[in-house]
Structure 1
Amino acid sequence: MELLTKCPLFKGIDYETICQLLDKIPYQLKTYEKDHMIAQSGDECRSLMIVLKGSVKGEMIDYSGKAIKIEDIEPPKPLAIAFLFGENNTCPVNIVANNSVEILHLPKKSVVALMQLNTTVLNNFMNIISSKTQFLSDKIRFLSFQTIRGKIAHYLLQLSGPVDGEIILSKSQEELANMFGVTRPSLGRALRELHNEGIIEAKGKSVKIKKREALIKQLKK
């Protein structure tokens, strides 16, 4: 539980104070095995979940039945925190265990009580929601690109910022393919096309943008 001092919800609060707060509210600790469906898209969010051990992934299922990974969540991050309150407080994605995980469940009433007991928790909660909303907005915009080349262009332009230079990809082609919702061979083919056309220079995980304007044009196709 000491890991909670690194959780965004408890940022700036020492371990002793966290323990005192938890002593005043109901909560549960639950464990899940690899590939267990922790929450399904459309399920009501009745509690705030915080990953304490292992990792989970959020994924969406497209109309063809293919799973598109949205993100991996490592300890001690909260899950679906932006959907805990509101009229349509349902989980937006499937949450699946990547391995053996332990999760702290804080019922909705407990979260409200925490915010009433400690203003730092309240401020942290509001900051997390704002950041998560911005992330989801960026993700929706990214998924709106119809072509693989458009997805690659958007990803590289985000990583590079306004200045061209060497970009070291932190993800493998397999991970990028899952994130883009495409097959690995299709992603590799699109990268080779952009490389052969001189728009980018790709060598392993190193990528250089050679023709920024040409890359930007990929977003409009």
Structure 2
Amino acid sequence: MEKTIFSQLETTALFAGLTANAIERQLEKLPYSIRKVPAKTVFLSANEPLREMVMVLEGRVSAKMTTPKGKCLMVDLLKPGTILAPAFVFSDDNRMPVEVEAVEESVFFSMSKSHFSMLIGRNEQVRANFLDILSHINFFLMNKIRMLHTASVKEKIAAFLLRRVRSVHSRSVVLHLSRKQLADVFAIQKSSLIRTLNELERDNLIFVREKEIVLIDVPGLQKIVKG
């Protein structure tokens, strides 16, 4: 079990450049915990203080925000290796801005703030990796704001599909979300999502199965994103 954990950590951005054996040595005297969370279980509530460094080790996790009008917005779908709100780990105001829920059974790796501080203090590679993770947050947030407020529904969906196929190195996107949850990702109505998927399919850009979307014309989708 322990060896598997270190092998999993070896593939994460936080421990990039370190072998499983090196990670094991780094964590030998630093307490950490592994928690398994059932599917459809809220792991952290919005406004709940984040008192430790938490990383998704296995499964899929959603980060959702509720607007003042009560609308649910899917901020991101977190994959293994993602640290929950890394910019909040050492913040004085460390209340979670989003609700974190396990979409499927998930496993979390966590370490107290003090012990994580010791880890990044003693290991230059981990410290550099953590700073790199933080540096990418602004880019992600600015891109998210642009997509939500200036892009059309078709642009949002095309960008999402292109991003997903790049991450899995395939032209097929397996959907782990319901149509309603997917609509929340784009802050749109479910009916708008279905209508746009139908339009993209009619234009021979994609092929929609129940839980899978196959990209037929990648250059065509890229043209939509570029406007």
TM-score (norm 2): 0.74
Match of 2:188 in 1: 182
Match of 2:29 in 1: 24
Q: Helix, strand or coil for the counterpart of 1:10?
A: coil
Query: How many residues get paired?
Result: 204
Equivalent residue for 2:152, pick from 146, 150, 164: 150
Q: Helix, strand or coil for the counterpart of 1:18?
A: helix
> Counterpart amino acid of 2:32?
Y
CA distance in 2, matches of 1:39, 1:105: 13
1:9-20 correspondence runs (5 A): 9-20=14-25
Whether the 8 Å CA contact 1:36–1:97 is kept in 2: the answer is yes
> Counterpart amino acid of 1:14?
T
> Counterpart amino acid of 2:120?
M
Deviations 1:76-127 (A, max 9, x none): 3322112212333322211001122221111111111011111000000001
Confirm or deny that 1:130 pairs with 2:132. Answer: no
Match of 2:173 in 1: 170
Whether the 8 Å CA contact 2:200–2:206 is kept in 1: the answer is no
CA distance in 2, matches of 1:31, 1:189: 37
CA distance in 2, matches of 1:96, 1:34: 8
| Shift in alpha-carbon separation, 1:201–1:64, aligned structure 2, 3 A | farther
Task: Give the superposition deviation at 1:157.
Answer: 6.5
| Shift in alpha-carbon separation, 1:169–1:151, aligned structure 2, 3 A | farther
Instruction: Decide which moves more: 113-122 or 182-191.
Output: 182-191
The alignment-based identity, stated in percent, is: 25
Confirm or deny that 1:46 pairs with 2:51. Answer: yes
Match of 1:219 in 2: none
Segments of structure 2 that go 5 or more residues without pairing to the other structure are: 164-170, 208-213
> Counterpart amino acid of 1:9?
L
TM-score (norm 1): 0.75
Whether the 8 Å CA contact 2:47–2:96 is kept in 1: the answer is yes
Q: Helix, strand or coil for the counterpart of 1:181?
A: coil
CA distance in 2, matches of 1:183, 1:102: 31
Task: Give the superposition deviation at 1:10.
Answer: 0.6
CA distance in 2, matches of 1:48, 1:62: 26
Instruction: Decide which moves more: 33-42 or 57-66.
Output: 57-66
* CA RMSD of superposed structures (Å): 3.3
Whether the 8 Å CA contact 2:153–2:196 is kept in 1: the answer is no
Segments of structure 1 that go 5 or more residues without pairing to the other structure are: 161-167, 217-221
